[in-house]
Chains A and B, each alone.
Chain A
């Protein structure tokens, strides 16, 4: 930043800072507002009378006696058993990430080390597969899954999410493995290792940064999915996102919206924590694709 070329004039500096602050506000305000509102009653969150109710919690004070209320959270987690959905999400996400990383590292490593034409074509096919809207695939699954009694179970959904995740995982890990010098495993092979032994003893110890980054994106895909989980899981096995959609669909009676608001905040919290701890990996993951793209 010492370079003369990067020194900005004062008005420009102020303008760009202002612009960035406006963007930060646009990006963050909806979350802050919803978090704040989730501790109010519906009359405040949707203030018919006066928008300031949302800030000073007039209706909340009248209805519950306090300025904040956990009624929405209690309704969602206890009454509507949102914890079940949270548990299911946990299981689906954990296994999806583990399995897709296992398959992805093997495949990505092979693609990065094979100089043959078919490796290129496989990557191209993976790109086309990545572009397929998930719901079109779901419409292919439904009928066979009904017939074979596979529909509604968590393992089915996990395998489907793993498969949908593969194209992206392969691309990402492929580019990470390209960055690991070829000499490493070549020299191991010279010392008498088989390809798999070279992978096992030389590559695995150094691949973790790339794997963690890829794992984050697998996590996000599985956690954020709505098309697959809402169509392939039975009501008992529902994960969080379809469960939230269910809150809205069922009834629009007083208070139920607040269950959904509380559930939304609960489901966003883990993502918040994720960004907080893994900001650097997420950024590097987004750009790694770009550099190779």
Chain B
């Protein structure tokens, strides 16, 4: 295809991506370097019967005018990045100097909002992703064995947790795990503890969110693996059998190697999607015990006072995180591409 034709074909799509994905990234970077104007102060002389006093008051009108004229605020350099709400370098350094043990240091770190969010985001990402792959594979192997009549309905039902709106899915589960909901009540009965509530402690909240994440994403892995299983070469399976391989060995040495490209594909998609975990925290009202990077950005933008600079700084850090996460994949693809070119 000629360069010109290609350009005209891709132009609308490219323009949309540049305007609404690339430019916002620039906008986020610029915003993160600025901070809201300080309030304009004015000094008035107040003369009473007992002499004159100087009073400093906030000039609300001038402040408003200034803020309206320059909504971006004043230049602040990288200060937002290092303040207490973000990287909190001063606090981290202090915690490190005063540490009694590594655990104590980590606990101090966990009290800082950004590190708390990073902690949960990483744990969620790296616990949910492997478990989704394992559960998805198990379901796919199971469905592959059941009688054909059951297969259609099973696939239909399995698609539901994945397709349902994440916020809605988490609300549905949230109502069920409520202390008065069916799962909450059952757990209380099961553990013989009428006070048990999944919302109470951070550990239980984290577990709930992770279980939700697995419930939500396992169908995706299942469907992909199930399709992959249909293409396993039955000759190699039979050959393995003749060589005396038992079921486990067949699975380990024939089926799983065949599915390996799919495992990589699912991990890639899951890492990207789990890293932006957000809706479940809103749905489960879990912000007291678990926050994620996406959630703290949302939180900065939501309140009466929108903290654009804070949200932007967190966004830039999040984007850096995503890039680091994707780097191995990008390098690998680049190598493959180079290899093909030669």
Contact = CB atoms under 8 A, between A and B. Distances in A.
Interface string B214-249: 010001100110011000001001101100000100
Contacts of B14: 107, 122
* Chain A CB within 10 Å, residue with most, of B153, B167, B173, B276: B167
B123 interface: no
A276 B185 CA distance: 32
A45 B155 contact: no
Contacts of A28: 157, 160
Contact of B326 (A107, A131, A268): A131
Contact of B16 (A115, A162, A248, A264): A162
A184 B26 CA distance: 42
Interface in A225-261: 226-227, 231, 241, 244-245, 248, 257, 260-261
A116 B293 contact: no
B61 to A, nearest CB: 20
A31 B24 contact: no
A138 to B, nearest CB: 7
A53 to B, nearest CB: 10
A167 interface: yes
Interface in A153-209: 159-160, 162-164, 166-167, 169-170, 195-196, 199
Nearest to B68: A147
A16 B220 CA distance: 19
Contacts of A274: 163
Contacts of B16: 103, 159, 162-163, 166
A160 B223 contact: no
A4 B172 contact: no
A110 B9 contact: yes
Given A107-B12, A107-B13, A162-B16, A19 B142 contact: yes
B142 A241 contact: no
Contacts of A248: 171, 285
B12 A51 contact: no
A16 B154 CA distance: 13
Interface stretch (B45-53, B86-94, B101-109, B317-325): B317-325
B319 A275 contact: no
A160 B20 contact: yes
A22 B153 CA distance: 14
Nearest to B330: A124
Contacts of B224: 286-287, 290
Nearest to A22: B142
Interface string B1-42: 111011001101110110111111111100100000000000
B150 interface: yes
A78 interface: no
A4 B20 contact: no
A271 B181 CA distance: 24
A39 to B, nearest CB: 14
Interface string A1-27: 101111010001100110110011011
A289 interface: yes
A87 interface: no
A16 B276 CA distance: 34
A8 B141 CA distance: 12
Contacts of A293: 261-262, 264-265, 268
Contacts of B131: none
Contact of B145 (A12, A23, A139): A12
A163 B15 CA distance: 9
Contact of A224 (B5, B10, B166, B282): B166
6 contacts: A51-B186, A103-B12, A136-B315, A164-B21, A231-B302, A241-B167
